């Protein structure tokens, strides 16, 4: 591992623009299981598609019950050493854009600036109105749902749209502006680092791939195989929470 730490540190020092892409493996040490893993919610519940949420009162109740099931884990989760290391990578001036598939908000909680973090699948940090787009703090809305199980409505004058967490639901398109921002950052990068992702969920997985296709060096840090292993320049099989703090030690010249 020591050699790979130094190899990646060298790539980072040589890069003028670094894109980091993260997936569920970043947050397992924070107590958030991989959605598709052995303990994932999908094993117990069928997902509620956006079209059904909008069309059916029963589906809206099912959706909010489903989101409530994972709410305590998201509420209580704290950044782990991998998140803290990426915040330090930004502080050291070696991180330009951080694109994450995760909806847990832990990159921002760890200290990465919101201006550099792109939450491509949305975030559980807020509740959003499906009609006007107004955002709400999440905890009061979840607390109200727990108490009365009445699907929450927007309080904006003249709106009364359905509220849901500000995440991308099944059947919902990604925000085109956020998607374009992600790919533009990839096109500008000369080093892409994918961390904790199996790189199979599209179109998100194509973000670091776009950097590679434009000539950037491509490093993958993940426990287990990924879909991009055959094309990367550096492959590291390690736990991000163990590896990334060592990388920061190698980069910190203080």
Instruction: Flag whether pLDDT at 110 surpasses 80.
Output: yes
Q: Report pLDDT for 182.
A: 97
Contacts of 14 (CB under 8 A, 6+ apart): 191
State the pLDDT confidence band at 4, using cuts at 50, 70 and 90.
very high
Measure Cα distances from 213 to 35, 161, 199, 208, 231 in Å: 29, 42, 15, 9, 10
Q: Report pLDDT for 45.
A: 62
Calculate mean pLDDT across residues 182-206. Answer: 96
Instruction: Flag whether pLDDT at 232 surpasses 90.
Output: yes
pLDDT, the chain, mean: 91
| Alpha carbon distance 179, 232 (integer Å) | 22
CATH of 1-32+79-121+175-254, one of 3.20.20.80, 3.30.310.50, 3.40.50.1000, 3.40.50.1220: 3.40.50.1220
- 233-242 pLDDT, tens per residue? 999 999 999 9
Looking at the chain, list the stretches that DSSP marks H as alpha helix, in order from N- to C-terminal side: 2-14, 50-55, 57-76, 81-91, 106-110, 138-148, 176-188, 206-213, 240-251
- Kind of pairing between the strands at 18-22 and 191-195: parallel
Tell me the Cα Rg of the chain.
Answer: 19
Percent of the chain beyond pLDDT 70? Answer: 94
CATH fold of 35-76+122-167 reads SIR2/SIRT2 'Small Domain' (3.30.1600)
Instruction: Flag whether pLDDT at 148 surpasses 90.
Output: no
Question: Beta partners for 167?
Answer: 122
Q: Report pLDDT for 120.
A: 96
21 or 66: which leads in pLDDT: 21
Global pTM value? 0.91
Classify 243 as helix, strand or coil. Answer: helix
Contacts of 227 (CB under 8 A, 6+ apart): 198, 199, 200, 205
Instruction: Flag whether pLDDT at 98 surpasses 60.
Output: yes
Tally of CB atoms within 10 A around 144: 12
The residues annotated as belonging to the active site are 121
CB 21 within 8 A of CB 99: yes
Classify 100 as helix, strand or coil. Answer: strand
Calculate mean pLDDT across residues 27-36. Answer: 78
The secondary structure of 17-60, three-state, reads CEEEEECHHHCHHHCCCCCCCCCCHHHCCCCCEHHHHHHCHHHH
- 34-93 pLDDT, tens per residue? 655 444 454 566 788 999 999 999 999 999 998 888 888 888 899 999 999 999 999 999
48 or 20: which leads in pLDDT: 20
Q: Any idea where the domains of the chain sit in the sequence?
A: 1-32+79-121+175-254, 35-76+122-167
DSSP string for residues in 149-178: -PPPB--STTT-PBEEEEEPPBT-PPPHHH
């Amino acid at each position: 591992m020591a050699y790979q730490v130094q190899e990646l540190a060298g790539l980072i020092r040589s890069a003028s623009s670094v894109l980091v892409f993260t997936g569920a493996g970043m947050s397992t040490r924070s107590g958030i299981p991989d959605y598709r893993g052995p303990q994932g919610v999908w094993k117990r519940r069928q997902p509620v598609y956006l079209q059904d949420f909008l069309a059916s009162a029963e589906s809206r109740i099912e959706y909010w019950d489903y989101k409530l099931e994972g709410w305590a884990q998201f509420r209580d989760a704290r950044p782990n050493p991998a998140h803290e290391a990426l915040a330090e990578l930004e502080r050291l001036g070696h991180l330009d854009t951080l694109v994450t598939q995760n909806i847990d908000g832990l990159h921002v909680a760890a200290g990465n600036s919101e201006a550099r973090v792109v939450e491509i699948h949305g975030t559980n940090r807020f509740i959003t109105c499906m009609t006007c787009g107004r955002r709400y703090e999440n905890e009061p809305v979840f607390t109200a749902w727990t108490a009365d199980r009445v699907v929450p409505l927007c309080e904006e004058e003249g709106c009364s749209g359905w509220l849901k967490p500000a995440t991308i639901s099944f059947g919902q398109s990604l925000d085109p502006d956020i998607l374009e921002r992600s790919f533009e950052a990839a096109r500008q990068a000369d080093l892409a680092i994918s961390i904790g992702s199996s790189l199979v969920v599209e179109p998100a997985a194509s973000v670091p791939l776009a950097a590679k296709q434009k000539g950037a060096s491509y490093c993958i840090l993940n426990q287990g195989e990924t879909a991009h292993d055959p094309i990367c320049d550096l492959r590291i099989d390690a736990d991000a929470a163990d590896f990334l703090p060592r990388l920061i030690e190698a980069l910190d010249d203080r």
